[in-house]
């Protein structure tokens, strides 16, 4: 990675996604790509005991020099949001200024709606459609990573795709690698012709953008005590609004094997008298486990887009 691609200070990225969307993986892959091509980088996730569908975030910093700073990114230069439903979630827009660049996994026809809600420059890329077409499932992390790398010109596209193929090949089957590469190249092709912003191409001969004043220097001793939740309140936390897909149950083919009821992490499968009765969408996060364990001969549960 050349100095002309980053400049005199570390560039910070914050990734917002949901459990199972691969935000952590995207953050780490970006760091590995930069390191493997001669730069410096660090990456770390921030989440607790969340399950699939829960909001998570991860951080990446890249530079052409050693990075001394550690900890969360509170004043990001780049924000990547893998689920547009998180734009209004607490924390997503924290520390974001008009200089920042926001990547959102959404189709172009959502631009007007999203632009009215964010304070910074906006890049829309339909990573979910690219993933569904290439992989058969909504796993937008690699196409979102490709969008960030390609739009910001962090690496030459051919070099990035070659690196990605080699890197994914260390862990995944050839068909999975091919699907992710197809999704990534679809996104890179869609970016062709879009203008490239200047902030991330500051050279050593040009003054780098000043460090933004966020909460980077806040000590834990300076933070006010936060609220606590008394016991027995989890029913008030309706996690159904995390969904991008939902299960559709066909009781006419259900064999009532109870596997979905057993494996559902949120007790959203309602059974009565030893038989499956319905799915409680109030708490269902759309993780798809019920559809995975449903016997193929019955195929009584299928996942469909939330909007359908």
Provide the mean pLDDT of the chain. 85
Do residues 166 and 280 share a domain?
no
The CATH number of whichever domain residue 282 belongs to comes to 3.30.70.20
- Orientation angle between helical segments 141-152 and 23-36, nearest 10 degrees: 40
| Count of domains for the chain | 2
Q: Is there a domain that residue 107 lies in?
A: yes
SS (HEC) of the chain: CCHHHCCCCCEEEEEEEECCCCHHHHHHHHHHHHHHCCCEEEEEEECCCCCCCCEEEEEEEEECCCCCCCCCCCCCCEEEECCHHHCCCCCCCCCCCCCCEEEEECCHHHHHHHHCCCCCEEEEECHHHHHHHHHCCCCCHHHHHHHHHHHHCCCCHHHHHHHHHHHHHCCCCHHHHHHHHHHHHHHHHHHCCCCCCCHHHCCCCCCCCCCCCCCCCCCHHHCCCCCCCCCCCHHHCCHHHHCCEEEEECCCCCCCCCHHHHHCCCCCEEEECCEEEEECCCCCCCCCHHHHHCCCCCCCEEEEECCC
Do residues 12 and 144 share a domain?
yes
- As to burial, measured by CB atoms within 10 angstroms (0-12 exposed, 13-18 middle, 19+ buried), residue 40 is middle
Q: Is there a domain that residue 51 lies in?
A: yes
Q: Is there a domain that residue 164 lies in?
A: yes
Higher pLDDT, 9 or 229: 9
Do residues 7 and 117 share a domain?
yes
Please report the pLDDT score of residue 48 as a whole number.
Answer: 62
**Res 202 pLDDT > 70:** no
The CATH number of whichever domain residue 166 belongs to comes to 3.40.920.10
Do residues 196 and 246 share a domain?
no
User: Over the stretch 267-292, which tens digit does the pLDDT of each residue have?
Assistant: 999 999 999 999 999 999 898 999 99
User: Over the stretch 135-160, which tens digit does the pLDDT of each residue have?
Assistant: 999 999 999 999 999 999 899 999 99
List the domain range (segments joined by +) for residue 174: 3-201
């Amino acid at each position: 990675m050349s100095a002309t691609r980053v400049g005199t200070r570390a560039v910070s990225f914050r990734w917002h996604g949901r459990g199972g969307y691969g935000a952590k993986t995207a953050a780490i892959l970006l760091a590995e790509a930069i390191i493997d091509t001669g730069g410096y980088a660090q990456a770390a996730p921030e989440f607790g005991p969340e399950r699939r569908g829960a909001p998570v975030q991860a951080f990446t910093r890249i530079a052409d020099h050693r990075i001394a700073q550690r900890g969360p990114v509170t004043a990001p230069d780049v924000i990547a949001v893998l689920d547009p439903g998180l734009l209004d979630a607490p924390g997503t827009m924290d520390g974001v200024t008009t200089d920042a660049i926001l990547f959102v996994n959404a189709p172009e026809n959502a631009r007007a709606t999203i632009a009215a809600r964010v304070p910074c420059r906006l890049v829309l890329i339909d990573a979910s459609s690219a993933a569904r077409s290439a992989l058969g499932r909504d796993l937008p992390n690699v196409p979102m990573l490709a969008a960030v790398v390609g739009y910001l010109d962090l690496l030459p596209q051919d070099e990035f795709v070659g690196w990605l193929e080699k890197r994914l090949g260390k862990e995944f089957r050839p068909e999975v690698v091919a699907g992710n590469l197809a999704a990534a190249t679809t996104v890179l092709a869609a970016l062709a012709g879009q203008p490239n912003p200047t902030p991330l191409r500051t050279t050593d001969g040009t003054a780098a953008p000043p460090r933004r004043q966020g909460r980077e220097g806040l000590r834990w001793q300076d933070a006010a005590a936060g609220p606590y939740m008394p016991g027995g309140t989890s029913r008030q936390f309706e996690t159904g609004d995390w969904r991008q897909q939902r299960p559709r149950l066909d009781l006419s083919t259900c064999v009532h094997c109870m596997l979905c009821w057993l494996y559902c992490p949120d007790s959203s499968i309602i059974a009565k008298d030893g038989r499956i009765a319905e799915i409680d969408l109030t708490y269902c996060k759309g993780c798809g486990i019920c559809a995975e364990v449903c016997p193929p001969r019955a195929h009584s549960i299928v996942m469909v887009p939330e909007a359908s």
